[in-house]
Amino acid sequence: MTLLVEQPTVPASTPPVHEQGPSGLVRWLTSTDHKVIGTSYMVTSLVMFVIGGIMALLMRTQLLSPSGGVLSLHQYNEMFTMHGSIMLLLFAGPFASGFLGNYFVPLQIGAPDMAFPRLNALSYWLYLGGSMVMLSGFLVAGGAADFGWVAYAPLSNATNSPGAGPDLWIVALILTGFSTVFTAVNIITTVFYLRAPGMTMFRLPIFTWNMVVTALLSLIAFPVLTAALVMLYCDRHFGTHIFEVKGGGVPVLWQHLFWFFGHPEVYILALPFFGVVTEIIPVFSKKPLFGYIGMVFATIAIAALSTGVWAHHMFTTGVVLLPFFSFMSYLIAVPTGIKFFNWIGSMWGGSISFKTPMLYCIGFLVTFLIGGLSGVLLASPPVDFAVHDTYFVIAHFHMVIMALVMAGIGGIYYWYPKMTGRLMRESIGKVSFFIFLVGAWTTFIPQFVLGLRGMPRREAIYSPTMGWTFLNRLSTIGAYLIAVSVLLLVINLWISWRYPIPSGHNPWDGHTLEWWTSSPPPPHNFTSLPRIRSQRPTWDANHADLVAAGIITTGVLGPSGIVGHGNGKHAGINGATGSANRQPSSASGGGSSGLFTDSTSSMKSQFSPSSGEGGDTDLTGQKGGPFPESSIDAPFDDGSSQSGRAPE
């Protein structure tokens, strides 16, 4: 067990002064700073979320009465096609990897930027271009794609879906697919080559681990989707007949290709938000994470198993081996259950603070539990045969997605102080959480019942004699409650920006490296780094005096692979009652606070891969380190740790 001892600190060397960079719109258009690009992803993906949400409200309003009257049948088909495509491929994925991954992975590993800044910028512009191309389908003759977001053949061929709208949909997904692949390459390279000294793989924050595994899954899944889209485009325009029976093609081949992408995509969406929850729960429980090693290997197991369960979406086709894919679908629930066990274990016995980020995480747990358990039911072929293509499947999938949205909103509340130096309003946040939770359950629990009563999905009108009207109206009320909650989130963001309440550098007494630097971070993230001896380097440094006094012990990875919990309830002591959060003095937003002249040239001097212990790595530039030797707090005599005080 490593102990921290209070020692005098060595001030960081004065960073070189360079000219002020561009600001405003020019900065947004030309920046290769991962924080600017991450913020751009956040804004764009949230706009897509609002657009997709408006489409959902139009569909739910259509279903208020059996005869509808709000949308025509063709418009309804466009709405559910574009709603699914936007929410999954233009909101959830880019928000997770583009915003959260881009912004916080370099901060959590102590890197000055992403490994390939210009490729990072290209990834965003491809994503923005793809989003605009998809939405432009509404402007062409015949309207947008209307064959469902899964684009099953032969519904998606040129005969059944003519016009430019489906072609724009195909091109948009190809563009955003390349964006995702480029981002995945960037994240993997950044984590493996730009980690700070001492940041071994088993000291990485779980969020960063999840982003690495997500990136690997993206490299497996998205090329398959891109290949399938190219084949579909060729079928539509060049007469290749790959998915058409009349030319010797096989329509069900599209389902195999799409779902080989589609089921890993579910975890490409889920794993980043799992990481967000894993970051928030220990901080607000004032404890180390329970079962760090178990969390890491559960994430890897989920990724590995996700490539072998694609055909559970195809049980009713009659062309897949039901026992194998049913067993694999049951099996993938096991590592997810391990994560639940560890999340509960991290809260157990802790001093839980029910701030807004923690509330959203608790909402995630209960909502994802229902969504996941209903998925276990669907892994049984007889149950799947009974409810396939009904609202039961819609309810299952949307309960999972609503849980991920809760985790994402919790991440916004958690990291907004780091991004801006401002606190969001707790009162508005708590009200919006409860409205969102009630709205999500009111929307989708009735849909489980509708599915069991036989209501098919993708139906714009229904018979008033079927007994579905009340449940549909209840579901629509819930959808509008979700809209009110999202509106409150937007209002909270605006008020917090317009009338700021300073947050300080570490308002939550956070554990990981992003809470060591100033809020907002300087252009190149860090002017100093603490010694890294556990998965909680910032917390260790800020509470060094309590450790030295024997009140608590640091949470380090022990021989058994379990994170040490210290002495009882004091293992994760609150910063308000323990030592003060000692953070770097706030760096100005201008260029003078950076360590390099620009974000591209910063890559000329990179970190070397971390050594096993991290204490012997030379940071003077002899081994590629970008920080001068004096910018790292001085080690103790035993080389084990450093003072928690940041340079004045």
3-state secondary structure 193-234: HCCCCCCCHHHCCHHHHHHHHHHHHHHHHHHHHHHHHHHHHH
Give residue 609's pLDDT. Answer: 36
pLDDT(249) > 90: yes
pLDDT of residue 507: 96
Distances (CA, A) of 137 to 145, 172, 219, 415: 7, 10, 28, 35
Evaluate if residue 134 carries a pLDDT over 80: yes
Indicate whether 99 pLDDT > 60: yes
> Do 209 and 278 touch, CB atoms closer than 8 A?
no
Per-residue pLDDT reduced to its tens digit, 442-474? 999 999 999 999 999 999 999 999 999 999 999
**Per-residue model confidence (pLDDT) at position 560:** 34
When the pLDDT of each residue in the chain is averaged and rounded to a whole number, the result is 85
For the segment 347-365, the average pLDDT, to the nearest whole number, is: 96
Mean pLDDT value across residues 501-507: 94
**φ and ψ at 289, to 5 degrees?**
-65, 135
Residue 456, strand partner residues? 390
> 545: pLDDT confidence band, cut at 50, 70 and 90?
confident
| pLDDT level of residue 25 (50, 70, 90 thresholds) | confident
Backbone angles phi, psi at 517, to 5 degrees: -85, 175
Q: What is the pTM of this model?
A: 0.85
**pLDDT tens-digit series, residues 371-427:** 999 999 999 999 999 999 999 999 999 999 999 999 999 999 999 999 999 999 999
Helix 117-135 / helix 73-85 crossing angle, nearest 10 deg: 170
Q: Which of 73, 340, 89 has the alpha carbon at shortest distance from 226?
A: 89
pLDDT tens readout for residues 193-221: 999 999 999 999 999 999 999 999 999 99
What's residue 187's pLDDT?
Answer: 98
| Contact in structure between 262 and 397 (CB atoms under 8 Å) | no
CA-CA-CA-CA torsion for 246, 247, 253, 255, nearest 10 degrees?
A: -50
Q: For the segment 136-173, what is each residue's pLDDT rounded down to a tens digit?
A: 999 999 999 999 999 999 999 999 999 999 999 999 99
For residue range 53-83, list pLDDT tens digits in order: 999 999 999 999 999 999 999 999 999 999 9
486 vs 46: CA distance, rounded Å:
10
| Lowest pLDDT segment from 129-133, 161-165, 603-607 | 603-607
